[in-house]
Chains A and B, each alone.
Chain A
Amino acid sequence: MIQVDNLSKAFNNVTVLHDISVTFEKGKTNLIIGRSGSGKTVFMKCLVGLHEVNAGNILYDNRNFVKMDFRERKQIRREIGMLFQGSALFDSLTVEENVMFPLNMFSAMSPAEKRARVNTCLNRVNLADVNKLYPGELSGGMKKRVAIARAIVENPRYLFCDEPNSGLDPMTSLVIDDLISEITHEYDITTVINTHDMNSVMEIGEKVIFIHEGNKEWEGTREEILDTGNKNLDDFVFASNLAKKIKSLSR
């Protein structure tokens, strides 16, 4: 469980996040939704310390990340897996080397154990026979899978995904969403996902937070999201003509 209390973040006196409080639950997919530029990425990077917050606390199972020094934070980060928007695979390394990278840096495993662990993770994301390929030789969806495999290779307790569907077609998006959701339940991970994709919300959103211009405007479940009375959220949820049409039909 991750608890965020009154988090604020500004860049050069421009406030990007206003006083956000939220709890992300263990073993669930927690979705942060909002328009492009609403502050989702900044929020996620604040949670993991890639940005320093201006105010607020972040509790990782009651351990306050904000108050920690460099060393203690590093320890927490070892419990975090992160999936970046563009996958952020290392271009100069093969798929296998990418996934093995965290193990090479930190684990005391033997080379055979490492290889076995890498293959387990690649199998888990349904990738086979790509071990020796370079990221440049993979499709967008495959890159995402490799990045997921790398994120889970050290058995994280927390998983952060920034726009896991960006750049993917709707079918592949579903596959990636389901994969993240399955992994979350299988390993009982606290998963936080940034997205602006309503399909993801309806597919895997167990807990949903709506951010608008840096403010948390709503939180609830995907069942409740269609009928909130929040104007900004309605604009977001029913952005497409298709959605508007369906809504008007259901009235």
Chain B
Amino acid sequence: MNFFSTFGRYVVLLSRVFAKPEKPKIYLQQTIREMESLGLNSVGIVIIISIFIGAVITLQTRYNLESSWIPLYLIGLTARDTLLLEFSSTMVGLILAGKVGSNIASEIGTMRITEQIDALEMMGINSASYLILPKIIATMVFNPFLTLISMFVGLVGGWMAVILTGALPSSDYVFGIQYLFVPFYITYALVKTVVYAFIITSVSAFYGYNVQGGALEVGRASTRGVVYSSILILLADLVLTQLMLA
């Protein structure tokens, strides 16, 4: 019962979010601002995490495949496919749910409790659309670049690990990451990323927009936004994988 009423309110909010914008030009400006604050500002964390995970995946695969009859280039291939299939989309999505999701929920929640949302409504502005639509569009457009960056940087991280540790010849790694390359994996990862971006932004905005009370409730909304968008990301991962790879 509670689930259905929450879902119902989520749908109602989305229908307001996607109402026709009053001033497209202002929405465009807002979208560009949000790309900067939600997208560009996440490039750093995505790079750091991807470098390390790329390195760790490569080393782990190497040390798990000690037997000599397995060709060493398969290590590069495994690292690549792990990054392309799962890490750079889903893991990065979960990290962004934590970073961007809490940011959105607390920003909008604070605007709610300080009556800034009421002020927008009083000016005759559709506050749901004005506050949320630019964020949804900005993340759906920008996050695929984060995923691509993560893939590239992750592969570089693996390569650096190979060079620094000498765990395998770098030529094997470089050959492996090109061997049996399936371009569709990138499409698959990008589709997942776009769906995750929608989930993160709309779900955390929903919890922020419906805050009632004070600072404590804003904190709670931010936690809920992160938790529920993470769960939904994992569900979407399962569904999209079955749909696209089966």
Please give the residue numbers on chain A whose beta carbons come within 8 Å of chain B beta carbons, in ascending order.
45, 48, 50, 74-75, 77-78, 80, 82, 84-86, 88-91, 101-102, 104-106
Please give the residue numbers on chain B whose beta carbons come within 8 Å of chain A beta carbons, in ascending order.
22-23, 26, 110, 114-116, 118-119, 121-125
Task: Please report the C-alpha to C-alpha distance between residue A104 and residue B116 in the assembled complex, in whole angstroms.
Answer: 17
A50-B122, A101-B123 known; A88 and B26 CB under 8 Å?
Answer: no
Closest CB-CB distance, A11 to chain B, in whole Å? 11
Known: A84-B119, A90-B119. 13 other contacts (CB 8 A): A48-B122, A50-B121, A50-B122, A77-B122, A77-B124, A84-B118, A85-B115, A86-B115, A88-B115, A88-B116, A91-B110, A105-B22, A105-B123
Q: Which residues of B contact A102 (CB under 8 A)?
A: 123
Cβ-defined contact, A88 with B119, below 8 A: yes
Task: List, sorted by A's number, 20 A–B pairs whose CB atoms are closer than 8 Å.
Answer: A48-B122, A50-B118, A50-B121, A50-B122, A74-B124, A75-B124, A77-B122, A78-B123, A84-B119, A85-B115, A86-B114, A86-B115, A88-B119, A91-B110, A105-B22, A105-B23, A105-B123, A105-B125, A106-B123, A106-B124
Closest 7 CB pairs of A and B: A88-B115, A88-B119, A84-B115, A74-B124, A82-B122, A77-B124, A102-B123
Q: Which residues of A contact B122 (CB under 8 A)?
A: 48, 50, 77, 80, 82
Cβ-defined contact, A90 with B118, below 8 A: no
Q: Which residues of A contact B121 (CB under 8 A)?
A: 50, 77
Task: Please report the C-alpha to C-alpha distance between residue A50 and residue B121 in the assembled complex, in whole angstroms.
Answer: 8
Closest CB-CB distance, A110 to chain B, in whole Å? 15
Q: Which residues of A contact B125 (CB under 8 A)?
A: 105
Closest CB-CB distance, B222 to chain A, in whole Å? 16
Closest CB-CB distance, A103 to chain B, in whole Å? 10
Q: Which residues of A contact B26 (CB under 8 A)?
A: 104-105
Task: Please report the C-alpha to C-alpha distance between residue A91 and residue B110 in the assembled complex, in whole angstroms.
Answer: 10
Q: Which residues of A contact B22 (CB under 8 A)?
A: 105
Cβ-defined contact, A77 with B123, below 8 A: yes
Task: Please report the C-alpha to C-alpha distance between residue A101 and residue B22 in the assembled complex, in whole angstroms.
Answer: 14
Task: Please report the C-alpha to C-alpha distance between residue A234 and residue B16 in the assembled complex, in whole angstroms.
Answer: 47
Q: Which residues of A contact B124 (CB under 8 A)?
A: 74-75, 77-78, 105-106
